Structure 1
Amino acid sequence: MSTVPPPSDALSSPPPGTDDTIPPAPPVTAEPRKPVRDRYFDLLRAIALFRVVLYHLMGWAWLPVVFPSMGVMFALAGNLMARSLKRPAVQVVRSRTRRLLPPLWLLGAVGVTGMVAQGWGPDSEGHPGWWWFHLLYWIVPLSDPPFAEGLPGVHHILGEDWAAELGGPLWYIRAYLWYVLLSPFLLKALKALPWPTILSPVALAAALEFGWLHIPVARIDSAVTDFSTFGACWILGMAHQQGVLRRLPRYAVPSLAPFVAAFGLWYALTHGFEEGHDLDDIPFAQSLWSLATVALLLHISPSWTEWPRRLRRWDRLVTLLNSRAVTIYLWHNLCILVAATVWDDLWSIDTLADHEAWLLESPWPVLALAWALIAVCIVAFGWAEDLAAKRKPRLWPDGSVAARGGTGGRRRQG
């Protein structure tokens, strides 16, 4: 009578001629998760850019109160900078600087060429040697790059003194560069003394406002003033990324921020300049209002890795604005000037002047035309941002998150 081995023996016995040692499976290592875009931050940046363009066209003093765009933009940049500084500081600073400069160089190549063509040169300012030296700020904007004053403009296209409009946004590039260079030190100070570090720019703004500190050199004074005005926002963005705000009681920011904002607004209303109580003309009030508003926005921060359903329709537009933020900011003033110049020329058409004066007086068509010109600049100059970030150049980077795959899109670090 034969004996049939149990099934377990048949399954466990290796085939003849094979090694009975089964190699262990290679260990499964979890692939490190790549950071995803925070769509809430992307939305804030897009709103900030639109508000900047609207304000520079309309000039409404209440717009910086409704939404302090520059404070928000610096806070978001500070948050990303702190996130990047998990890597070696020299590498991060070099990467951030590289992303900032090529769009500026492209603006300078166009703008400086145009200024020189209209007669700007070493003799224009009476100091030929300094003129050549100051041109270096178009390469590395440690101070404001120079521009010509009182240029005649281009008939039917550019209004007079167009170079001043082109140079207007350059303070932001200079301030951003200094924040990037100082960020490794600010992060160390933030970790050691969080709240004294966050509030130190406001204290500096107060010292400048009340005359306790006077800086006689104009270029240094402008840099220090900008740091004192928006430095707290940049550091607050870093603090948010480091979890400093999460260590506060949930009621702290909503309870204290309105009082800080109210004091800043009261100071602006009682100490405003004769031309209007504009926060942009009162750095101390701007520093308080921006700090309080940014603190509330960061406190609310829902950290969206994907859009809420009601906002998904805006995905492509928000993606485009974020992908070309530097290009839009650098060129928008010139686009507004061209749009206003072209629109004003329509007054020479008698039919429009006689029967459609209300339309010619309206700023809204100028706003639409300005954004159309900004779109042209995005196509013509936006590729510099891709080259700066070591990406393949794209003419119109509005690809939706869903089209790229994944729920949130991926952010390149550095």
Structure 2
Amino acid sequence: MTYPPQGPGSGPGAGTPDWVTAGWDTHQSAPAAPPAPAAPAPAPAPDESPQPSTKRAAGRDRYLDLLRTFALVRVVVYHIYGWAWLTIVFPSMGVMFALAGALMARSLKRPAWGVIKSRVRRLLPPLWLFGAAVVPLMFLAGWDPGNDPNQTGNWGWIKLLNYLLPVGSPVYPLSVGHEGGLLDPEWAMYAAGPLWYLRTYLWLVVASPLLLWAFRRAPWVTMLAPLGLTAVVGTDLVEIPGSTGYAIEGFAVYAGCWALGFAHEEGVLRRLPRYVTISVAAFIMAFGLWWAAGHQTKFGMDLNEIPLAQATWSFGAVAILLVYAPSWQQLPGRFARWDKLVTLFNNRAVTIYLWHNALIVATIPMISELYSLPFMTEGSMRVLTATFQFWMLVLIWPLIALMILSVGWLEDVAARRRPRLWPTTPPRRGSPRRRT
């Protein structure tokens, strides 16, 4: 697959787009960027525990909804342009895991087993539909998971089960070796890229009752311990091979942000003087940038390729975003005009994240058709090549809208809500819904 079809490539550093390697399991690195050594942070008195008066008010927190919308948009833009600096400007995955952790802490006021079942139930039907579409296309491309040079024996067939329950790394062709197939199999690597997020999310959901129990007894230890774990497993100090290593690394990288979500919901951050939290967060972020500067990859300081830098930078940035979090029941001022869009993105976050990479790849042949138009001159072809990614960015949003209309309703079914095609408003009070 040539990207773009003519002219220079894209992505960090020119050449292969960054989504080829960033954000999912490859032979090089684990999907999510990992955390850093625990920085000394002031801890509250050991006998202190969050008081009910410090907890967040019930209801939708529109500030968190707005952050999730920014995160999704940033992920799409990053996977098109591959700008490494975007991973520094806004650590989207750390934000998304922190927001999920906050919602999980709120849900765990109810029996843990029911909450876990509800979260898993909401995740699996969209994944099953994705697998039902993508896996057959891999076979049509001529791929044989039992005879894949990147897999051992029948391991490729076994890993297909991760499209049913994402406890490990889903299998997909990592090399182009089936030129006689109906499709170029290289696209599958891009399309399956976001599945690491579902695996890490699932692991964190299952671990949440234990993590929240530990957090309520030792909040700062629980928040900072994942950074220390990442410093061990994300720097090759201890190498865990295969899918297990990727899963543990992804868990370690974002467990700290997940615990920060606990802190936001439980009111722990608001109990400390703000300058203390900001000072500690700035120190951890500075360490992350220092580590990234000394461990640059071919993509430069792309934090998705530098686990320890990703973990520490994301942790500090998320802490700052949450310590300044207002309590918005409605979007204020200029943000109010984006209320329906923010609501739509939050109601269809799984659909957008799960399908956006496949849709990005789909824009390439669509735009490439313009080269064959009879009125295209050599000059206009050069212009098209220079602006190829811009047109990908323009085209991706209507494709995402079509995907929301066609399959997004499955998120409602999975959540046991009345299905809606374009949910720009909260569910009606009378519609079936379980708050979990």
With structure 1 as the length reference, what TM-score do the two structures score? 0.85
Q: Which deviates more from structure 2 when the two are superposed, residues 81-90 or residues 131-140?
A: 131-140
Distance 1:348 1:278 in 2: 35
1:413 alignment partner AA: R
The answer to whether 1:61 aligns with 2:87 is: no
Q: Is the helix fraction higher in 1 or 2? A: 1
Once the two structures are superposed, what CA deviation does each residue of 1:137-169 show, in whole Å capped at 9, x if it has no partner? 1111100121234365998xx765111111100
Deviation at 1:231, TM superposition (A): 1.2
Percentage identity across paired residues of the two chains: 49
Unaligned runs of 5+ in 2: 1-56
Deviation at 1:122, TM superposition (A): 4.5
Distance 1:235 1:87 in 2: 18
**Secondary structure, in 3 states, of the residue corresponding to 2:274?**
coil
Deviation at 1:269, TM superposition (A): 1.3
Distance 1:392 1:267, change over 3 A: same
Task: Find the partner of 1:377 among 400, 403, 420.
Answer: 403
Distance 2:277 2:434 in 1: 31
The answer to whether 1:314 aligns with 2:338 is: yes
Kept after mapping to 1: 8 A contact 2:101/2:259: yes
Task: Find the partner of 1:367 among 379, 384, 393.
Answer: 393
Kept after mapping to 1: 8 A contact 2:101/2:260: yes
Q: Which residue of structure 2 lines up, in the alignment, with residue 164 of structure 1?
A: 189
The answer to whether 1:116 aligns with 2:139 is: yes
Task: Find the partner of 2:319 among 267, 281, 295.
Answer: 295
1:172-211 matches, within 5 Å, as 172-211=197-236
Q: Which residue of structure 1 lines up, in the alignment, with residue 308 of structure 2?
A: 284
With structure 2 as the length reference, what TM-score do the two structures score? 0.81
Once the two structures are superposed, what CA deviation does each residue of 1:62-102 show, in whole Å capped at 9, x if it has no partner? 00100000000000000000000000000000000001111
Q: Which deviates more from structure 2 when the two are superposed, residues 372-381 or residues 61-70?
A: 372-381
Distance 1:366 1:248, change over 3 A: same
Distance 1:275 1:153 in 2: 32
2:410 alignment partner AA: A
Q: Which deviates more from structure 2 when the two are superposed, residues 317-326 or residues 355-364?
A: 355-364
Q: Which deviates more from structure 2 when the two are superposed, residues 107-116 or residues 118-127?
A: 118-127
Count of matched residue positions in the alignment of Structure 1 and Structure 2 = 372
Q: Which residue of structure 1 lines up, in the alignment, with residue 415 of structure 2?
A: 389
**Secondary structure, in 3 states, of the residue corresponding to 1:273?**
coil
Distance 1:342 1:68 in 2: 30
1:347-358 matches, within 5 Å, as 347-356=371-380, 357-358=382-383
The answer to whether 1:325 aligns with 2:349 is: yes
Once the two structures are superposed, what CA deviation does each residue of 1:293-350 show, in whole Å capped at 9, x if it has no partner? 0000000110200110221110111111111101111110011111122112312225
Distance 2:249 2:137 in 1: 30
Distance 1:393 1:411 in 2: 11
The answer to whether 1:213 aligns with 2:238 is: yes
**Structure with greater Cα Rg:** 1
1:310 alignment partner AA: R
Distance 1:279 1:397, change over 3 A: same
Deviation at 1:214, TM superposition (A): 2.4
Aligned CA RMSD, in angstroms, stands at 2.2
**Secondary structure, in 3 states, of the residue corresponding to 2:375?**
helix
Kept after mapping to 2: 8 A contact 1:269/1:277: yes
